[in-house]
Chain A
């Protein structure tokens, strides 16, 4: 399991003070203070890849023990600065609990560095010639993930995650489609916003990890974009109702921008081949294709299942011959959307709830005071309350709750759970679990025989599989068969970007995919209703 122990009480922490802001990061002797801060909102200034050559990331040690100053620091800083505790954050590694003061932080930015490790190791391709840089983009409904590569050497310069500005237009894809339907003029504005967001992410990498922007943009030879169909359609500026037309739901939709020259011009990337990896169908995007490439699904022993939990949840089942794929709604609940006290996986989000000698113990991201539930914390809480008889399998509270909800911490209203929250969760879990069961039925496979189950999406990183199994969100497999794949779609996009023969991936996997639209499948609807009940998978089958 990818247990996230950032908030475990026993771990020493480094606190960084900046004016009236403060952030704590784990005191990890193998992670520089700069890299630790890069995953959050409070970042040091930077104009190099962390080699100590730009000297921008000045920070002052107030308390605690660190590594001795490096050669780079002795070249950049005066002896009296060093004597006063001035250091370069990129050269600074904590050896225990500590306190730092940051006088000049980087300007606020929508972009952070993801805290998951890069999974792609590229050999490099000397044939890349004059335009060796490449950008991989995963255009998600709530977040945009991207990375910049030197394709000639196979080096990843940097990667970022940022909130998709489209999120302001609606909580789920359908609402956004309504937004898209409004007017062609508006859809061009939406496309502009999405493109602007991507280029800002790229520029954030260039300015902080390379220290130069314009010359590098001119050397970008390729931009590869994966995403869900609605987002790809939006960034292409499709000003029509193509997604609304029932004829397009099962067929593939061509997401091809008709203004590539203007797009390149706008991004100052005159030599970039901007390519959209085409969605599989109106409701299954190329983000699923990328996730399947990241898992290398056809090389796995069959049967294997992959679920990418997000605003929509995509599910795929590899049966040894075909990949059955579908998409179901209801995912926002897994990201905290729709839950009264739901928040994203951000500081203060309850990410885990455990029973400790009869008491509920809440773990929050960043060990901050609880501000609400992210998906994994909510699922833990419901699973524990179900086991305790406080919530019944029907999803109702056993006893009426006050109007202020059931508070896990009596004094903290942000820890309250309401009946409507459980109802929303039941729908999301039922549509997901029923889809897993239905794909198994179509392919003639017993879910109990799955050799591996890949959980993608940021939701999966904090999820306690045992809680998900208890509620019937995941099939009851032995824990060792579950694999977490953070940033799966970006990883798959990177593989495509760097592969000498990307067609091998796309055709090898895409040709085996059979997209299934579960809308109107009566058998699936029956399963949905059965799976509304909170109980382990399979009991109702």
Chain B
């Protein structure tokens, strides 16, 4: 029933045309669909379709990747205000770029996908120290720490994931807080996440969000 809206929404996302995508959502609202329907039956399937599509399309560009996540996050955020009762969130993640790393955009795609999957995201920004990751995860009662690293030295460096793992161990938090990583170096070496002490990694935004949701389920009763 929402198929036509999903198609129109994804056509707009494909064209990186944010306004048209928002218009489709508003049209669906006016025609009686609930905010919950729009998130669960329109946005989430649409993001999954679009990510799968542009992963296969060699001509897909960065603008399309970002817009897919950005528009989904924007719409979800707007719809949450209209939910009839507060939505049950899946869990909470603290996310950030590794110490010494200023590349912040990769994690934004993941954040956008996480938000549309009903995960609370606490974005710590760039150049985040290991201590800050762990302290924030404890303070926010997050189930997952997600670390983006776009350069080899920030991925494998001693102040990055390795130190977060060491701190989790030292403070006895390993059962409560899981560690996920992502970024270019991990795509080059799919085993690298193990070497930096992470519990999971993924190659793209949608799969990263799904992997994080699984980690949340592991530790959250």
Other than the given A397-B59, A532-B66, 12 more pairs (CB < 8 A) read: A393-B16, A393-B17, A395-B16, A427-B62, A520-B102, A522-B123, A526-B70, A529-B66, A529-B67, A532-B67, A533-B16, A533-B17
B186 contacts partner chain A, Cβ-Cβ < 8 Å: no
Contact status A525-B64, CB under 8 Å: no
Which of the residues B59, B61, B70, B104 comes within 8 Å of A519, measured between beta carbons? B104
Give per-residue flags for A504-536: 1 if the beta carbon is below 8 A from chain B beta carbons, else 0.
Answer: 000000000000000110100110111011000
User: Could you mark each residue 419-449 of chain A with 1 if its beta carbon is under 8 Å from any beta carbon of chain B, else 0?
Assistant: 1001100110010000000000000000000
Closest to B96 in A: A520
A423 to B57, CA, bound (A): 14
B126–A394 CB distance below 8 A: no
Nearest-CB residue, chain A, relative to B105 = A525
In the complex, which of the residues A246, A419, A423 contacts B99, with contact meaning CB atoms closer than 8 Å?
A: A246
**A400-B59 CB under 8 A given contacts A520-B102, A528-B105, A529-B67:** yes
Within the complex, the shortest CB–CB distance from A225 to chain B, in Å, comes to 27
- A35 near B: Cβ within 8 Å? no
Measured in the bound complex, the distance between the Cα atoms of B17 and A427 in whole Å is: 17
Assess the B62–A426 pair: CB atoms within 8 A: yes
B62 touches A520 (CB 8 A): no
Which residues B173-202 have CB closer than 8 A to chain A?
none
Residues of chain A whose beta carbon lies under 8 Å from any beta carbon of chain B: 181, 244, 246, 249, 392-397, 400, 419, 422-423, 426-427, 430, 519-520, 522, 525-526, 528-530, 532-533, 540
Residues of A within 8 A of B153 (CB): 181
Q: How far is the CA of A426 from the CA of B67 in the complex (A)?
A: 13
Produce 1/0 per residue, B60-93, CB < 8 A to A.
Answer: 0111101100100000000000000000000000
- A530-B18, A532-B16 known; A246 vs B62 contact (CB < 8 Å): no
> Bound state CA distance, A533 and B67, in angstroms?
10
Q: How far is the CB of B14 from chain A (nearest CB, A)?
A: 7
Residue of B nearest to A519 (CB): B102
A418 CB, nearest partner CB in chain B, Å: 10
Cα separation A249 to B153 with both chains bound (whole Å):
17
Closest A residue to B112 by beta carbon equals A529
Binary flags per residue of B17-42, CB closer than 8 Å to A gives 1, else 0: 11000000000000000000000000
Smallest CB-CB separation from A517: which chain B residue? B102
Q: Is B115 on the interface with A (CB-CB < 8 A)? A: no
Across the interface, A394 reaches (CB within 8 A) one of B61, B100, B125, namely B61
- Closest residue on chain B to residue A174 by CB atoms: B151
Distance, CA A396 to CA B17, complexed state (A): 13
CA distance A393 to B100 in the complex (A): 34
- A-B pairs with beta carbons under 8 Å apart, 17 shown: A246-B99, A246-B100, A249-B102, A249-B127, A393-B15, A393-B17, A394-B14, A394-B17, A394-B61, A394-B63, A430-B63, A520-B104, A522-B125, A525-B108, A526-B70, A529-B63, A533-B63
A392-B127 in contact (CB<8A): no
Query: Contacts of A392 on B, CB cut-off 8 Å?
Result: 15
Cα of A98 to Cα of B26 in the assembled complex, Å: 69
Chain A min CB distance to B141 (Å): 22
